[in-house]
A and B are shown apart, each in its own frame.
Chain A
Amino acid sequence: MFLIWISYFFEIILLSILKPIVTDFSVLAILATIIHVIITTIILLSFNIKVKNIIIWAFLIRILFLFFDIFGRDILILPHSGSDTELFYNSALEVSTTLGLTLDSSVSLYSKITGLIFKFIGPMRIFVQYLNVLLGISTIYILYIIFDKLNINENIKYYGTLIYSFMPISIIMSSIFLREAFPTFFVSLSVLFFTDWINNSNKGNMITSLIMLAIASAFHSGVIGIALGLAFAYLFYNAYTNQLIFSKQTIVYSVILSFLTFIALTYFNGTIFGKFQGIDNTSELFDKSSGYGAASSVYLAGLKINNFFNLIIFAPIKAIYFYLSPLPWNWRGLSDLITFFIDSVFYLGSLIYYFYYKNRYLDSRKNVVNIFLLMIIGSGLIFGLGVDNAGTAMRHRQKLLPVFIPFLISMLDSKIRFNSVRKVNNIILDTEIIKEDKMNNYNQWGNIAMFSEFLNIFKKNIFKMLIGGITGLIISSFITFFIMKPQYSSTADLVVSEPASQEMNLSTIQTNFSLLNTYEGIIKKTNVLEQVIEDTGINMSVDELYKATTVNTEENSLLLSINVTAESPYEAAELANSISENFVNEVQNTLQVNNVFIWNYAVPNTSPISPNIPFNLFVGILLGISVVIFYLIIKHISDTSVKSENIIASMGLTTLGIVPLMSESVYRETVLNENFETKVKSSKRRIR
């Protein structure tokens, strides 16, 4: 897992170095992502854990969603993607241009991080979304380790990982441009350290767990509710003896702590509740919580919380709605029904399961399960206050999955343990299996051997990869030379300035700046472009010309450049000049201002800007090779054929012996019905 992250950061650094050199950076970014996807898949393949295939498929499906989110927007915008993601995208852009914002507390942490990434490698949303994917699969891996630390049965572990990997909401959240992947990741880390603390009652683990939770709540404050569970565990739960102890001392501590929490909530909730930005005091928070639901799937709209008493009564109700909505009586159509069955059902199921099995199966793990439940209650109360529509609830409760899944999984595991108590043999078997699993899981460096196995596969198939590369080269050269028409571009420069007679002061310059933006709009307006088509007599529609034209204004300058791309250099120059002239006329005629001048006429530039031949060929080769690598990887995953004699032992059988592969020549020599007589004569020696 670390290897994946190291390679990701390495790639970012590499790209930030390459950025000034490469012209078509967006294609390079996509390529770099694809390469990293391959690297990650290989690293994941070399994992020595049973759920590695789940993780790989989870990873690939998230990548699919990522590409769909970026390139498939015309077809369908993924749920939750859209205005919110654009908001984050824009604020990230803002941060990347003005770095000072990183110190501004009103800007969310997520925007700061994404802004920094943008600063390094330019506004490539693919990178940020890819980061989310990596966080998503890391969360899966961490969940798996959590199960391991909780000593969960192997099969149940498998299902737990499966739930998180393929829950639709978690797939979407870790592939689109939203911050959710970050808090989820840190919540899972917090739970991981919490389980560590359960195992060894080391204070350091508890503190790390709290720190992780604090980081998670810096991304999204609602998850701080998990601290309720952690605080309870720290005060009353003795992990060593697995007992809840309510001594005078701990009760006094807890009273002090809740008092402090109460004060903190009252005085500092402007900073603590970062999510409810712009809310200064508690009463306003309640107002917002009840009137916030402008979105479609609002629930409990009439429930107003006006005072402390209301808070106590309604907060639990709102928490329940938060976890379970859209509830059947709020369904407005098929989509709500589907949402309920793919999302709410999980939370509903786990909670019902808790009450159903509370008195039956919860054994030694009872206390841990209760602590998980407290975490769920705590964060449910906080989120419940701030959320009142199903869509938002879905998004926010996804962050609590790293608590919810271990909660459910521990209960299911307890059931299995309970059943196996009757069969003593099973218990022995169970503990043996656990021991074996542990040995497998902690053998981290064993991965390297697996890794070299993969290198071997590539070595063996180097010829296929070569063919893939050559095929890619042929296809891309065919496309570049025969299908793509060369494109030429030409640029005309205009300058916006007041006549010299007028006084040049700050306000006129300011006016010119704002005019610049207006002009930028006017240039691409239909009547200018129509006039251009009429003048030049070119065979192009307004729409085509619109797409071929780009207008650039440089920051802090009064220069406007009009760039036109066309299939011949002369045409491009003619069009650029015609647009400039028509635009100047248009401005003079309609706006009655005389402050735009053509500074520089466009000249034909005979070297085509596209296709970029070496780049295209390079991309072709690389894509060809990656397709082959993907094919090999998929083939390797789906190949269930036996590779080692360990299979006999793993089936519980004795290995009687290993017969080496017979070479063809030996076979020919030892098969009887060829030259029967000579063979019989030659077999004189026999060992008895």
Chain B
Amino acid sequence: MKSPELIVVGAGPGGIAAAIEAARAGVNIKILDENTSPGGRIYGQLNDGLKLINPAFLGSDYNKGKALLAEFDAFREKIDYRHDAVVFGTFENREMAFHQAGKGERLRFNRLILATGAYDRPVPFPGWTLPGVLTAGGAQTLVKMQRVLPGKSILFAGTGPLQLVVANQVLDGGGKVEAILEAGEINNWLKLLKGFSRNWGLLTDGLLYMRTIRKAGVPLLRNHIILEARGDGQVEEAVIAEVDKDWRAIENTRRILKVDTICLGYGLVPSAELTRLVGCQHRYAPELGGWIPARNENMETSVPGVFAVGDGAGVAGSAMAIFEGRIAGISVAQSFGYLSSEEARRRKKPYLRDMKKMGRLREALDRISYPRPGLFELADDDTIICRCEELTLGDIKSAIGSGTIEMNELKRMTRLGMGRCQGRMCAPVVQEIIAGQTLTPAAQIAYLNQRPPIKPVPIHLLESLPGEFAIRHGW
């Protein structure tokens, strides 16, 4: 088991930036990336066989991504980059296991940078499991990677800039958008962007997106939310309403839109599976997406030598992920003595400065767009919460009613989170449901225990893992 000095998990903006800085200083690196090529979800390249005619279609992110990927390419020879490499567990004695190309492998980690990203926030409401309801992120993948429109008449519902970006891409691709619902105050965050325009190119993007949306005549409804999706085996209409500041529907504002597709963009949930499995301390930060690892100024977690960067450590976007990644990479190089503390400080300085500047913007943005309580009250007793085990809100409420207040106990009683998605879809919601039902602050409700495999793993790959164990009995 030959181990590199540094293992980076994930090759999105944060992981790449970390690897660049560590490699620049001479650190020996292995990157384990689930995707086929570096870039992560945001800078992900078009699928093979598709040619990009108009780069503007993908937004300015695409060009930023290209610059970072070019920088990464310059260090490629020094980095053992593994694509389609799925880390499925970490274990005692700082060991980890992953599989790639049909073979299981085992590694010991010394320094570890986790840049695992985030996933679309699931929001259950009546009808959310109907075909035709998908996440904005999923819709983006369809449009951007596969060049497929998600439907014929599309409703966007959510909060924050991502749904504007995707709506734009749908419009550019020739799709029809019926309306965009912003649960919060859209003017608030546009104003905010203006205030920070010198620091961040997002405003220009934002304004461009707004212009396209207006030109296409798409209604942009602020303080609006989707309450229900209806249809016979497929989305046919959406019930929407105006909401108050807690995102609770205001009476007599309900109306029905005829649509066949609903894209939900209520932000992201950090993929903190590995930081939790490794045993890092976490805190509940709803404004950053949920449970996130506690970190010091070097992006190091409470487990020495384990760093976390990017959306997986608190949803803050790609620009922040890059700064965090660079700082973590430099810190790792310094910890091995490749950089003097003075040199490390010098290299970190510009990123720390930019982070600080952006930090204020982020905080303001977070305050505007993090999910409000009304969002977790949309489901009725028949609404499915855990899709894998087909558990309804009623099932969960009756389990809570019988005295269960711990998520791990709830899981044992109801099989909640025991299916294929391993709780990714239901646990963030159930945390809020328990909080609401028991009037307990969500931060006090312990999350599901994290165990390997953090992704389903086929049995033949387990057989191919290194190591020999004699047959033993005893039970």
- Asked if A and B are interacting partners, one says no
Chain B residues within 8 Å of A, Cβ to Cβ: none
Chain A residues within 8 Å of B, Cβ to Cβ: none
